[in-house]
Structure 1
Amino acid sequence: MALESSETPRRATREEMRDAKLPLQYRDSCAHLLIPLNRCRFETYYMPWKCEDERHSYEKCQYVEFKKRVAKMNELREAKGGARSN
């Protein structure tokens, strides 16, 4: 059971996102990493070198989610039987 929880990150609830005042476009599966990143940015006056670990974690999460969307789109294209238009 512990193995499953380490593979799937805890998602932020709607209330947590609302309380953190996240804009709607950022309320995705990586919001649980954006909340502490924004808090760190605020507390350190947005000095870019202060929150590198939080930023790296958030950007990696965004990249992984992008890769999942691309794979899903390719899967749908394959199922449809059509080729890429570009």
Structure 2
Amino acid sequence: MTESNAAPQTPETLDALSYEEAREQLVAVVGRLEAGGASLEESLALWERGEALAKRCEEWLEGARKRLANARDTSNDGGAAAGSQ
């Protein structure tokens, strides 16, 4: 593994990742950690990258939860308003 593969991504780079991209990269990082054989420094860099990727995935999921809740609220409000007319 090269150093550039283990280097943590910048917040700007992580912010640009879609949920699927972040999850795919997280799965790859976990696989590399589970395989072993990395130096301590590489393992720490992978761990930090994994933490950042996991946080990005959680941000996407939280955003999706909020959008669903808003859609439900809008749907419920619209249904009540339409039924009262």
Equivalent runs, 1:33-72 vs 2, <5 Å: 33-45=22-34, 50=47, 51-72=50-71
Unmatched tracts of structure 2, length 5 or more: 1-15, 36-42
Give the TM-score normalised by the residue count of structure 1. 0.54
Q: Percent identity?
A: 7
Q: CA RMSD in A?
A: 2.6
Instruction: Report runs of 4+ in structure 1 exceeding 2 Å deviation.
Output: none
* Aligned residue identity for 2:72: M
* Aligned residue identity for 1:70: A
Per the TM alignment, residue 31 of structure 1 is displaced from its structure 2 partner at its CA by 1.5
Provide the rounded CA distance (Å) in 2 between the counterparts of 1:75 and 1:54.
32
* Aligned residue identity for 1:33: A
Provide the rounded CA distance (Å) in 2 between the counterparts of 1:72 and 1:58.
21
Give the TM-score normalised by the residue count of structure 2. 0.55
Greater RCO between the two (CA within 8 Å, min separation 6)? 2
Per the TM alignment, residue 45 of structure 1 is displaced from its structure 2 partner at its CA by 1.4
* Aligned residue identity for 2:27: N
Aligned-partner SS, 2:34: coil
Say which structure is richer in helix: 2
The 3 A distance-change label for structure 1 pair 55 and 10 is: closer
Count of matched residue pairs: 55
